[in-house]
Structure 1
Amino acid sequence: MGEGGGEGTVVTPTAEFPDLGPEELGSLRRIGDRWRVDRRDRPGPADELPVDPTLGRYRRRPAPSRFGRLAPIEMFQAGEPDELVATEPANLSGSRLGRGLGRLRRVLLGPPLSSAAVLYERMRKLVALPVLSSDLLSSVAYGPEAMLAVLVLAGGAALGLSLPLGALLVLLMVAVGISYRQTIPAYPHGAGSYIVAGDNLGAGAGLAAAAGLMVDYVLTVSVSVAAGIHAVTSALSGLTGLTVPLGVLMIAVLLAGNLRGIRTAGNIFVLPTYAFVVALLAVLGAGFFQAAGRGFTALPPPDVPAAEGLGLLLVLRAFSSGAVSMTGIEAVSNAVPAFRPPEWRNARTTLSWMVAMLVGLFAGIVVLIHLNGLAPRPGETLLSQLARTIFPTGPWYALVQAATALILLLAANTAFNDFPRLLFFMARAGHAPRRFLHMGDRLAFGNGLVALSVTAALVFVVFGGHTEALIPLYAVGVFLAFTLSQAGMVVHWHRRRGARWRHRLAVNAVGAALSGLILLTAAVAKFAEGAWVVVVAVPLLVLLFRRVQRHYRRLNGALALRPPGPPPASPGPPLPAEGQETPQQIRHLVVVPVARLNRASLRALAYAASLGQPTLAVHLAPNEEEADRFRGQWEAWGDHLRLETIVSPYRAVIGPLAHYLEALHASRADLVLTVIVPEVVLRHRWHRPLHSQVERRLRRALRELAGVVVTSVPVHLPG
């Protein structure tokens, strides 16, 4: 257990099925009591079933059917009493194309994992470090360059400010790193800015932090892939024209890798991250060795003419641009449940390693760039210039560039870990669609992964894969989440007041102040460069989240269990059809639309009559002649059920029938109309254009009517 009592639950497939509260459980028991009275008063063996539901009577394999080869009865085994356990996933696709796609899916993503395997789909520290630090560590490849690209606007002489600005950024990294290190044990089930800000600053702050994080993660993918492709084209200029298709292809590869599951994806991305760290350590070691040979004398920077005056605003812009080197520092606190037990302790250790590596690599690169007198120039990254300067001959430059390109491309994997998890927590609170609670067959949040990939690819294409155009958007979302998270922790410590709470509050306050300063600077100074997109997008996203929650709140209110009304013997008005919860409250009318008398319609009529409820058949005719003809056929059949004929002179079918059923229900609101639709099931998709699909259109239209139950009686065409 952690030091704090952060809200949350471990991320498992059961989170998709929330438990009932005490009030609903009480209502459920009272409703069950009413059911018990009703079943006691009914004659007959209500509990007897015509088959054994445990399938124990089936000792031989059934004859192959459409799905028999894929989902035989033997796939079940006995579990708890009155429970069966599926021993393998069932593929219900009966077509050759569907089976082929299923096999391809298994090849690309691997076989399904059991729900019990979620405990084993965790990462140990040596795997979690490269997986969750790839974004943070890779940002040193473009963070120093982003800072120098602003300073160089004031001329080559202004590049000397990179050292003091770099020192301030190192201080910021340490302060924010320590702040998140405190956050992890306080919120051991996942300490994302959304949860921390929401718990301590209110729902609005939590949603704003979530919006900032979502922008951060989307741009993490876009910026990382853009920077990686730029690193590739810096070494292979012939590929410059393929920047956009290469970037989209890389996003698709990342999606496929992460759909295979956390542990598999982690194993894929371990080596590139460690290779990048080793490559940078080689650059730093050789670079400082060369600098020591000349007494650490800094080479003069190139004579670059000034495009802007050197002022406070430009310095602040450079500082905020360099601060993008911190993007991804919050990844560990978001992904605490992905670690092996003890989760929070392993996560905190991993974060400490990450921050130490970030500080060392960032500071070393900034100092080496200064010592070698390098400045940003179009067509080649600063890291590429530095590696080319230190390794002018031999294969080392190519190896450094390859490792850099690979880590930049794979740095987006951090977002692929955290974005679906953020949507999971939001969906659990009702701020995002519930589909994001679902774990796929590889125990990955596939819906969240696809949403991230599509959005990031769209942003990448719109901006043409240019890193410089994306970074102004990047900083605002990142530091909005940082600021709200650290401010939330200040409130957290002030409320809890545990051991050393003043010291912890001060650390988080420093992190909040520095992050807020960068947020304000980036939003104001880079507003015209594209930051306005995030400034506008965050409130719109917050509004969207609130609308989603409002929908789920109304849904939960409509579906919540309530104490049952008075028993039927008590006086009172009849309940509306959708307010009936016990068998004795329901009054039926079965309606069967009949277009023509054939095997499908007669089977539907027979099924309706077997229910033993009042039944009405309805026929729509385009004119009186057709109505008379059908009534003659109905009498020849025997006129066993009441028939109502509707003449539709404009030949419409769906509209008149839906309005008729609505009028029936309006005349008796306590009636449940069960509409039984005969349906011919087609064997092949290419047969569908040969049929009108009236049955499907009718079902879609009738589902919109309150108090109407729609079911179908299928008739399958022979092979």
Structure 2
Amino acid sequence: MPGKLKRLLIGRPMKSTEIEGEKLSKLKALAILSSDALSSVAYGTEQILIVLMAAGFAALWYSIPISIAVLGLLTILIVSYRQTIFAYPSGGGAYIVAKDNLGLSPSLLAGGSLLVDYILTVAVSASAGTDAITSAFPVLHDHRVLIAVFMILILTIMNLRGVTESASILAVPIYLFVVAIYVLIICGVINYFTGGAHAAAPEFGKTISNVSLFLLLKAFSSGCSALTGVEAMSNAIPNFRQPSDKNAAATLMMMGILLAGMFIGISLLAYWYGIKPAAEETVVSQIAESTFGRGTLYYIIQGVTAVILILAANTAYSAFPLLAFMLAKDKFMPHAFMVRGDRLGFSNGIIFLSILSAVLVMVFQGNTENLIPLYAVGVFIPFTLSQLGMMIRWIKLKPAGWMLKLFINTVGMLTTLSITLIFIFTKFSQIWVIFIFLPLVVYMFMRIQQHYSNTADQLRIDLFNEKPIAKGNTVIIPVAGVTRVVLNTVSYAKTLSDNVVAVYVGFDDESVRKIEQRWNEWNPGVRLIILKSRYRSILGPLRKFIDTVEWKKAESDHITILIPQFITKHWWQNLLHNQSSLMIRAYLINRKDVVVATVPYHMDR
């Protein structure tokens, strides 16, 4: 049954030779890898307005110059990451750039920041998409956590089906969102200039006494949340069709143009319409209602906005497994992240990402405002490290035109470093946890790498001087009675060694007498050793017996423990039996010089 359900949800297994067909065209890649950045227009302006509202409605005009400054930063990042794509066409983004130019610790910091950011991307996207749904249907507001977790489950299944298939499905709503937002902007602008806007905008350029530099910087840093996801193209270059670097760079430019137009358009409409951020309704919802009323177009815009906010997580589902693969390849993450699933995707990375993001949604109760600052600062750290790494690369290699390239990355580094510092100073109360969590992530990477290094050292052999040593084998069979399961195990044991003993641990004289009588009547040609347990423990007497045999046979024989175990036909039948064989195996498997094996006997009814 589980196998049939898996095939129904995920589809047929794919051959390794089909992997080239899983590569993305520019149009599909734009939909999948830009969904995070494009979706941020639904909450980027809102985050600016939330901060400015602390100074009152009249301060909302500052959202326009702040939005223009955010677009300037977007331009710097697009140009900088375009250079990164051509310099590192194998992908990896900030992690690979930092590893190549800055060293181990900065690369792990960049990689850890990006992994955390991708987890936050899914959590924020699911939460923000749920907010859009509950804005249109307020009755669902109390169920937002359940809705967000359900959306993550749907995305998980879609991505487990493979990159190309999910891209084909998800491209439609993402492009619908782009069209819907541009229709909203065009109609909203026409509506404003024809006198259809009902709310008056606050006076532009009016000096507000309680607006401080600190407040403006905080609003700017909040608006920079619209730039998350820009780095995804450079991380996921291997997902593109050939020539992958050129296709990735072209897709990055297309994304930048679309994002810039939508972001400034929403910011202008929010200002012109005098929109105030509200807990129960998003800014985009208010603009759509002011432009179209609560009619069909309003619900279409809210629907596609909700869909893309949820689908924005697909950027993370494309980039997280690839980055986890690269870290695992360098032995900083478990090797399980290097394994491709039935549909040629890195399934373990997809599932791990989904579980952690769902936990975040539940912990933060689907509150987007609490998640976004963590989400944004998590990406500006690798932004800065990537730009710094590229600066060092140009200085070291000095290729043709390197001075211009160095200037671009220097401007990018100084800008993103400034944004990171602004985040730290203006939102420290919301992001302090990341300064505890990121060092723990880097420490975890180091410990994993150390384990793999130690394992390799201990497993490595001298091919010329170390050869297998032939030794005897003493086989010990723990038995609970005279049954077909024991018969099966004794039969197998005799194929391994002539030195086989059965061990029975008895709790009382009556049980000992019965087993001795039956064993003698059966006479399997194997000696039965009786151990008595005054404290009703099987493991204690068995351990002492193995210690005795091990001491006597250490130099001459291997010691093998064969554990009889019957396997029920149905899983639920296991619950009706004690699991002493599993307990014995779990206890003995950690003994250094003992081989432990299970001999199964399968029941047929």
TM-score normalised over the length of structure 1: 0.78
Residue identity matched to 1:323: C
Contact 1:156 1:302 in 2 (8 A): no
Residue identity matched to 2:587: A
Equivalent pairs: percent with the same residue? 40
Q: CA deviation at 1:307?
A: 11
Aligned partner of 2:545 among 642, 650, 660: 660
- After superposing the two structures, state which structure 1 stretch, 539-548 or 320-329, moved more: 539-548
Aligned partner of 1:170 among 66, 71, 80: 71
Q: Classify 1:600/1:369 alpha carbon distance in 2 versus 1 (closer, same or farther; 3 Å).
A: closer
Q: Classify 1:355/1:633 alpha carbon distance in 2 versus 1 (closer, same or farther; 3 Å).
A: same
Aligned partner of 1:452 among 316, 340, 353: 353
Cα displacement string for residues 622-658 of structure 1 (whole angstroms, at most 9, x for unaligned residues):
3567656655655555584455433323231123213
Residue identity matched to 1:518: I
- After superposing the two structures, state which structure 1 stretch, 348-357 or 663-672, moved more: 663-672
* Aligned equivalents of 2:218, 2:94: Cα separation in 1: 25
Q: Classify 1:627/1:462 alpha carbon distance in 2 versus 1 (closer, same or farther; 3 Å).
A: closer
Q: Classify 1:665/1:512 alpha carbon distance in 2 versus 1 (closer, same or farther; 3 Å).
A: farther
- After superposing the two structures, state which structure 1 stretch, 410-419 or 386-395, moved more: 386-395
Contact 2:135 2:282 in 1 (8 A): yes
- After superposing the two structures, state which structure 1 stretch, 201-210 or 327-336, moved more: 201-210
1:602 aligns with 2:487: yes
Aligned twin of 2:296: 395
SS at match of 1:660: helix
* Aligned equivalents of 2:343, 2:166: Cα separation in 1: 11
Residue identity matched to 1:430: K
1:687 aligns with 2:573: yes
Q: CA deviation at 1:484?
A: 1.7
Q: Classify 1:302/1:247 alpha carbon distance in 2 versus 1 (closer, same or farther; 3 Å).
A: farther
Greater helix content: 2
Residue identity matched to 2:348: N
Contact 1:200 1:492 in 2 (8 A): yes
- After superposing the two structures, state which structure 1 stretch, 590-599 or 519-528, moved more: 590-599
Q: CA deviation at 1:199?
A: 2.6
Residue identity matched to 2:365: G
Aligned twin of 1:345: 246
SS at match of 1:678: strand
Contact 2:78 2:256 in 1 (8 A): yes
Q: CA deviation at 1:131?
A: 1.0
Cα displacement string for residues 3-37 of structure 1 (whole angstroms, at most 9, x for unaligned residues):
xxxxxxxxxxxxxxxxxxxxxxxxxxxxxxxxxxx
Residue identity matched to 2:532: V
1:508 aligns with 2:409: yes
Aligned partner of 2:590 among 704, 708, 713: 704
Q: Classify 1:678/1:402 alpha carbon distance in 2 versus 1 (closer, same or farther; 3 Å).
A: closer
* Aligned equivalents of 1:681, 1:165: Cα separation in 2: 67
Aligned partner of 1:462 among 355, 363, 373: 363
* Aligned equivalents of 1:402, 1:634: Cα separation in 2: 74
Q: Classify 1:205/1:587 alpha carbon distance in 2 versus 1 (closer, same or farther; 3 Å).
A: farther
* Aligned equivalents of 2:315, 2:110: Cα separation in 1: 18
- After superposing the two structures, state which structure 1 stretch, 594-603 or 443-452, moved more: 594-603
SS at match of 1:645: strand
Cα displacement string for residues 203-246 of structure 1 (whole angstroms, at most 9, x for unaligned residues):
22122222221221122122222222222222222222222222
Q: Classify 1:585/1:206 alpha carbon distance in 2 versus 1 (closer, same or farther; 3 Å).
A: farther
Q: CA deviation at 1:323?
A: 0.3
Aligned twin of 1:573: none
Residue identity matched to 1:554: N
Q: CA deviation at 1:109?
A: 1.8
Aligned partner of 2:306 among 376, 389, 405: 405
Correspondences of 1:244-643 after superposition (within 5 Å): 244-290=145-191, 299-301=200-202, 309-392=210-293, 395-528=296-429, 530-565=430-465, 582=468, 584-622=469-507, 630=515, 640-643=525-528
Q: CA deviation at 1:365?
A: 2.4
Aligned partner of 1:184 among 78, 81, 85: 85
* Aligned equivalents of 1:351, 1:292: Cα separation in 2: 33
Cα displacement string for residues 63-111 of structure 1 (whole angstroms, at most 9, x for unaligned residues):
xxxxxxxxxxxxxxxxxxxxxxxxxxxxxxxxxxx3xx33232222222
Cα displacement string for residues 31-57 of structure 1 (whole angstroms, at most 9, x for unaligned residues):
xxxxxxxxxxxxxxxxxxxxxxxxxxx
SS at match of 2:167: helix
Aligned pairs, how many? 601
SS at match of 2:473: strand
SS at match of 1:713: strand
Correspondences of 1:3-14 after superposition (within 5 Å): none
Contact 1:183 1:191 in 2 (8 A): no
SS at match of 2:432: helix
TM-score normalised over the length of structure 2: 0.92
Q: Classify 1:405/1:595 alpha carbon distance in 2 versus 1 (closer, same or farther; 3 Å).
A: closer
Q: CA deviation at 1:668?
A: 4.6
Cα displacement string for residues 139-182 of structure 1 (whole angstroms, at most 9, x for unaligned residues):
01110111122122223333232232222211111111111111
Structure 2: 5+ residue runs without aligned partners?
A: none
* Aligned equivalents of 1:463, 1:164: Cα separation in 2: 32
Aligned partner of 1:675 among 532, 549, 561: 561
* Aligned equivalents of 2:251, 2:548: Cα separation in 1: 65
Contact 1:302 1:374 in 2 (8 A): no
Q: Classify 1:693/1:389 alpha carbon distance in 2 versus 1 (closer, same or farther; 3 Å).
A: closer
Q: Classify 1:164/1:645 alpha carbon distance in 2 versus 1 (closer, same or farther; 3 Å).
A: same
Q: Classify 1:378/1:302 alpha carbon distance in 2 versus 1 (closer, same or farther; 3 Å).
A: farther
1:208 aligns with 2:109: yes
Q: Classify 1:168/1:642 alpha carbon distance in 2 versus 1 (closer, same or farther; 3 Å).
A: same
Q: CA deviation at 1:265?
A: 0.8
Contact 2:23 2:239 in 1 (8 A): yes
Q: CA deviation at 1:327?
A: 0.7
* Aligned equivalents of 1:353, 1:152: Cα separation in 2: 33
Q: CA deviation at 1:299?
A: 4.8
- After superposing the two structures, state which structure 1 stretch, 455-464 or 683-692, moved more: 683-692
Q: CA deviation at 1:117?
A: 1.5
Contact 1:662 1:705 in 2 (8 A): no
CA-atom RMSD in angstroms: 2.7
Contact 1:301 1:374 in 2 (8 A): no
Structure 1: 5+ residue runs without aligned partners?
A: 1-97, 567-580
Cα displacement string for residues 560-617 of structure 1 (whole angstroms, at most 9, x for unaligned residues):
3433546xxxxxxxxxxxxxx52x4444322223333343323322322223453333
SS at match of 2:381: helix
Contact 1:153 1:308 in 2 (8 A): no
